[in-house]
Every structure is written in C-alpha cells, then in structure tokens.
Amino acid sequence: MNDNNSRCNHIGNRCCCCQGPQCPQGETGPVGPQGPQGLPGESGLDGKSAYEIAVENGFEGTEQEWLESLVGPEGPAGPMGSAELATIQVALSNYDNGEREIGIASNVIFNLITKAPSPDISYNNQTGIFTINQTGQNNSYLINWWVMAESSPSLPITFGLHWGDVIYYVPFPWSQRQISGSVLNVVGDDPIEISLRNEGESAVILPNIITQAQITIIGFRSAS
C-alpha cells in the first residue's frame, strides 16, 4: 500500500520494510553426542640432562668427572656422645688353694674386686649382693658372669642371676664345665639388688684353680 507520507514495498502479502515485535527466545536444545577422540599429538623434544646444563654453565670434563664432583670431602668426626659408664668387676679368687663349695640357695661370695666400682654400684662382700643406686633415668645395665663347676651330687647344675624379684636361670646338664650367662636390663625408679645364686638341688663344688668365678656389671646412662 502507498500513501503520501510513506512507502511500503510488498512482496505478495508480506511487507518487506515493516518489522514486527520480537518473539520470545526458545528453549535450549539438548546436548549433542560427544565427538570422536582426536589423534594424539607429537612427542615433545627431550630436555637437557643435568650434565649438559652444567657444561653450558662452564663445567669442563666428562660426565663421570661431573658425577664425582658432586661428592664433597668427608667431614670431620663428630664429638663423643654424652653417655657415661658405671662399672664393677669382681672375682672369686682361690687364694687359699683349695676347693670351694656353693651351698643350695647360697649366693656366690666374690672376694676380689678387679675393677673398682662406680659410685652408682656398691657391693657387699659378706652377702654377695650388688646394689645399683642410680635410678630414675631408665639406665641400661649389662651383666656377664661365669662359674667354674667341678661337680655336683645332682644335675643339672643351675645358677640364677637375681635381679630384684626376678631370677634369670641358667641350667647346665653336666658338671666340670664353665657355666656362664648374660642379662641386659633397665633400672627404673628404685634401687636394684643383684646376686648370683646356686639354684640347683645340691651344693656345687668349685675346682682348685686361681679364679673360680667372675661377674662384670656395666651400666650405660646419659650424662646429666
């Protein structure tokens, strides 16, 4: 249709110059199917080794020489630790040149101190009892002992190391033999009494030799 103020071109029944109102946006459509996986890319170039980087930065020499250069000189020895030892060593000496008998349930009475005792350890040569006085630090003590046994009316010959109320038995099914034992234990908050005792069913005869028995006590404790 044409008038004096405007012109409107029509194609059939459609107006080509007049725009109508915008329609509302429609709903989003469903997601389409996943496409096929792409081809893998090309591998990257290898990086430089640490040796090559060292050469670029001025190192001169073979790769083996470079490896050896990474090891520094040996450092000085460290200071000694602060652990201290508490020791005592005593023996049963046959100074009267005769056999000796250890009765049933009797302690071995050592009569010769071969290494002076530490203040932490005391020994009663009348009872054969050692006392460890250093307490409260959970110190470790190693005890090594041996006895030369000549004979006994009954077997086995059995000696026991008494550590407080605990007994560490060492039975031997024969006589005329060196009987020995070791104990490693810890001292807690209370002093500990230690003794070596005949736990067999009869007396034990010791031979006529210079040293018939020996015991060594070594304590390891931290310095205060």
The full set of domain ranges for the chain reads: 118-165+175-213
pLDDT, tens only, 81-104: 566 788 899 999 987 777 789 999
Q: Where are the beta strands (DSSP E) in the chain?
A: 10-11, 14-15, 83-93, 100-102, 112-115, 121-124, 129-132, 139-149, 157-163, 166-172, 177-187, 192-198, 204-206, 211-222
Q: pLDDT tens digits, residue range 111-139?
A: 998 887 788 899 999 999 999 987 666 68
- Could you tell me if 140 and 184 are in contact, meaning their C-beta atoms sit under 8 angstroms apart? yes
- Name the pTM for this structure: 0.60
pLDDT at position 223 is 55
Q: What's the whole-number mean pLDDT along residues 178-202?
A: 90
| Residue 16: DSSP 8-state | S
Q: What is the mean pLDDT of residues 173-197?
A: 86
In terms of C-beta density within 10 A (0-12 exposed, 13-18 middle, 19 or more buried), how is residue 56 classed? exposed
Tens of pLDDT, residue by residue over 151-164, are 777 778 899 999 99
**Which pLDDT score is estimated for 24?**
80
